[in-house]
Amino acid sequence: MSTTVNRSEKLDLRLTPLAKQKLKSAAAAANRSVSDFVLESALARADETLADRQHFGLDSEQWTAFMAALDAPPRHHARMERLLNEPSIFGNCASAHDERNASV
C-alpha cells in the first residue's frame, strides 16, 4: 500500500479477540501494520469479487458468438412455460387473506 496516498476515510468494525489476534499475527508475519494488512486483504478480496462484474474480454470469434446469442430469439422450454403458467402458492395465500379480511 502506498504511504504517499492520503487516507481520509475511516472504517470501524467489531471483531472477536481471537479474530483480532489472528489479524495481528498475520500482519506481523507479512511485516505490515494491522491496518495495512486488513486494508490490502479487503481490497484484494473486493477486486476478486468485482472482477467478473466490471470487465470481461472476448476475442472476435467469442464476441460474434456472444452477439448471436443475444440477438437470437428465446428458446422454447416446455417445463419453464408450465411452471410459469401454473397457479402460485403465494397467490392462494393472498386470496385467502383477502377473503378473511372481507368477511370482517
Tell me how far apart the alpha carbons of residues 68 and 27 are, in angstroms, rounded to a whole number. Answer: 49
pTM over 0.75: no
Query: Of the candidates 17, 16, 18, 11, which has an alpha carbon nearest to the alpha carbon of residue 38?
Result: 11
User: Is the residue at 35 inside a domain?
Assistant: yes
Query: Of the candidates 45, 46, 35, which has an alpha carbon nearest to the alpha carbon of residue 12?
Result: 35
Tell me how far apart the alpha carbons of residues 46 and 42 are, in angstroms, rounded to a whole number. Answer: 6
Tell me how far apart the alpha carbons of residues 89 and 91 are, in angstroms, rounded to a whole number. Answer: 5
pLDDT tens digits along 20-54: 999 999 999 999 999 999 999 999 999 989 987 87
User: Is the residue at 86 inside a domain?
Assistant: no
| Mean local confidence (pLDDT), 74-89 | 90
User: Is the residue at 29 inside a domain?
Assistant: yes
Q: What's 74's DSSP letter? A: P
Report which residue type is found at 59: D
Query: Residue 61 — pLDDT band, cuts 50, 70, 90?
Result: very high
pLDDT tens digits along 5-19: 788 999 999 999 999
Domain count, the chain: 1
User: Is the residue at 24 inside a domain?
Assistant: yes
Range(s) of the domain holding residue 35: 17-58
